[in-house]
A and B are shown apart, each in its own frame.
Chain A
Amino acid sequence: MSAGAVATSIFGVFMVATVALGLLAVRGRGGQGGLAEWSVGGRSLGAVFIWVLMAGESYTSFSYLGAAGWGYNFGAPVLYVVAYMSCGYAVGYLVGPMLWAYAREHGLVGITDMIAHRYGRPWLGAVVAVLATVFLLPYIQLQITGMGVVVSTISYGSISLNWAYFLAFLVTTGFVVVSGLRGSAWVSVLKDVLVIATLAFLAIYVPLHYFDGYGDFLDRIVAEKRDWLTLPGAGDSGYGTAWFATTSLLNALTVVIFPTTVAGYLGARNADALRRNAIWLPAYNVLLFVPMLLGMAALFVVPGLTGADSNLALFKLVTDSLPAWAVGVIGVAAALSSIVPMAVFMLVIGTMWGRSVLSLVPRLQSQQRQKAASQTVVVIAGTLALIMTYAAPNTLVRLSLISYEGMAQLLPMLLLGLVWRRLSMAGAVSGLVVGVGAVCALVFTGNDPVFGVNAGILALVVNLAVALAVTWARPADADARPDAEVLASSDPDTDKRLEASGTSAAGSA
């Protein structure tokens, strides 16, 4: 068999296994539980599953492609990913249990649901759902492209890029519609085992194969590539310490309200599972150093990659130095790193629409219909991302630039709103509008970073100022509900009470 056929066969076997695993995960639970079973795993996932799932979400194909590519192009600035994830887990220690308890108490399944409940306005949830979808779609497309590139590379070109994109879409959509969050957690187990094994292997193998071991590899980097080793990195990157600090800070705050992270939070059986996860999850970040360093190793082996090709820095090393079966296994690990996050992204979009947008249509209000509607939205969203991958790849690439910084603008409305009763709806909405406007204006005019600082954090400051000004300039919202009904509590005693009260609230979800 040719190298391409070997690698492709291994890949195919694992893809079938992935779908089978997703089906197995929901065996015996089919049709029960409605939307909450599908979208947040019936709120019953234990600490280990949540760890695997959340590690799976945050460790995407970016880790193989983008991280190595950034390492190759710039060097040190790429470490912001490690910085914001670690800081984000610390914030999540507080915010995770708070959102979990709020959702559990009021039977909510996502951030748009929480916003609708907090401000007592279902339409506001719908508006935020549409906005969040615009920010999430680019991520689905990024994963489709990422997986497509991987599949095409590891098949030594025998699967074309366009077929690879379609395959990525087909496997993920089929699997998420059937199995929901529980299936994603199961497939995450397979993915994590493969990712840890392949990265650990590469970390040892590459320096030995191309250099005289680690000492030689690191000595050469220190001697020859000094620019890559400190901020602002190689070339005229613009990614200095101020950018590193502000981006890490902004992303650390944003990651805890990112709809996919929240889906993980809400899937937890109890709040303590989330707190314990905040301890273990940062340990996973140690793995991220591997692709970053390997990206820099590629500087010596395959110099001169530019543009999108630099994202292939790691895979060039892999296909160059390893036998076909090993290339296939590493390709599977990278492909699963696309599938798991993509599945959760689609799931979240489906859930948001089913719960916050389509539920405004009276005919679709029953539990079973909400779930069916959500699954339909998943297929539509996936198809849309696929079509745009073929037809207008640049549109979504541009959108992806504002995704994270745009999502950050929901921070005052959601987090501040949940702890501070006085924040008015008019204030929160005005802040959001101004914040998102500022992000678009700065990013699309090429001003990110602006004055060496992350543009999103500037927009967030303006957003917050507007929200406070409008709130104080106008009378308080007329809302007769007591604070306990509207606000969230981060008090550990609350979740004890919720756990003691069993599944009464969850059952109504």
Chain B
Amino acid sequence: MIRRRPHLLWLLVPFVLYIGALPFVNRVEPVVLGLPFFFAWLLAATVLTPVAAWLTWRGDRKARGEL
């Protein structure tokens, strides 16, 4: 399935951001725009997840020749 739809790998992005990165981002400093780093990181992940899903979807559309 991955060989035929390699763009599905984009779906791993939220797992890497929310779970894989945990040991490195579980900290208060540096404060980003007033937000403690852990909160800022997870907020960024929440904004990036739709982008990853969109890239997957675009890959599927391309594979079907609809784009």
Q: Please indicate which of the listed interface residues B12, B27, B45 has the most CB atoms of chain A within 10 Å of its own CB.
A: B45
Q: Would A248 and B34 be within 8 Å (CB), given that A79-B39, A93-B11 are in contact?
A: no
Contact A492 B46 (CB under 8 A): no
The listed residue (A252, A283, A490) touching B50 by CB distance below 8 A is A283
Contact A229 B23 (CB under 8 A): no
Contact B14 A90 (CB under 8 A): yes
Binds B, one of A136-144, A211-219, A258-266: A211-219
Contact A82 B42 (CB under 8 A): yes
Q: Would A87 and B19 be within 8 Å (CB), given that A93-B56, A219-B34 are in contact?
A: yes
The listed residue (A249, A278, A289) touching B53 by CB distance below 8 A is A278
Taking CB atoms, residues of chain B closer than 8 Å to A86 are 14, 18, 45-46, 49
- Residue interface bits A240-251, CB-to-B below 8 A is 1, else 0: 010011001100
Bin chain B's interface residue count. Answer: 35 or more
Docked CA distance A397–B66 (Å): 50
Taking CB atoms, residues of chain A closer than 8 Å to B11 are 90-91, 93-94
Taking CB atoms, residues of chain A closer than 8 Å to B13 are 90
The listed residue (B23, B31, B57) touching A241 by CB distance below 8 A is B23
Contact B19 A279 (CB under 8 A): no
* Dominant secondary structure of chain A at its interface with chain B: helix
Contact B18 A248 (CB under 8 A): yes
Taking CB atoms, residues of chain A closer than 8 Å to B6 are none
Q: Would A90 and B28 be within 8 Å (CB), given that A218-B34, A241-B22 are in contact?
A: no
Contact B19 A94 (CB under 8 A): no
- Residue interface bits B12-44, CB-to-A below 8 A is 1, else 0: 111100110011001110010011101100110
- Residue interface bits A12-40, CB-to-B below 8 A is 1, else 0: 00000000000000000000000000000
Docked CA distance A275–B45 (Å): 19
* Dominant secondary structure of chain B at its interface with chain A: helix
Q: Would A245 and B19 be within 8 Å (CB), given that A279-B57, A280-B50 are in contact?
A: yes
Taking CB atoms, residues of chain A closer than 8 Å to B47 are 283, 286
Taking CB atoms, residues of chain A closer than 8 Å to B28 are 222, 226, 229-230
Taking CB atoms, residues of chain A closer than 8 Å to B12 are 90
- Residue interface bits A90-132, CB-to-B below 8 A is 1, else 0: 1101100000000000000000000000000000000000000
Bin chain A's interface residue count. Answer: 35 or more
| Closest residue on chain A to residue B13 by CB atoms | A90
Q: Please indicate which of the listed interface residues B12, B31, B34, B54 has the most CB atoms of chain A within 10 Å of its own CB.
A: B34
Interface residues in A171-219 by Cβ distance below 8 A to B read 214-215, 218-219
The listed residue (B1, B19, B38, B46) touching A285 by CB distance below 8 A is B46
Q: Please indicate which of the listed interface residues A215, A282, A289, A496 has the most CB atoms of chain B within 10 Å of its own CB.
A: A282
Taking CB atoms, residues of chain A closer than 8 Å to B1 are 490
Q: Would A282 and B19 be within 8 Å (CB), given that A222-B31, A230-B27 are in contact?
A: no
B31 to chain A, nearest CB (A): 6
Taking CB atoms, residues of chain A closer than 8 Å to B57 are 93, 275-276, 278-279
Q: B64 near A: Cβ within 8 Å? A: yes
Docked CA distance A272–B42 (Å): 28
The 6 closest A-B pairs by CB, nearest first: A218-B34, A83-B18, A282-B49, A229-B36, A279-B53, A90-B11
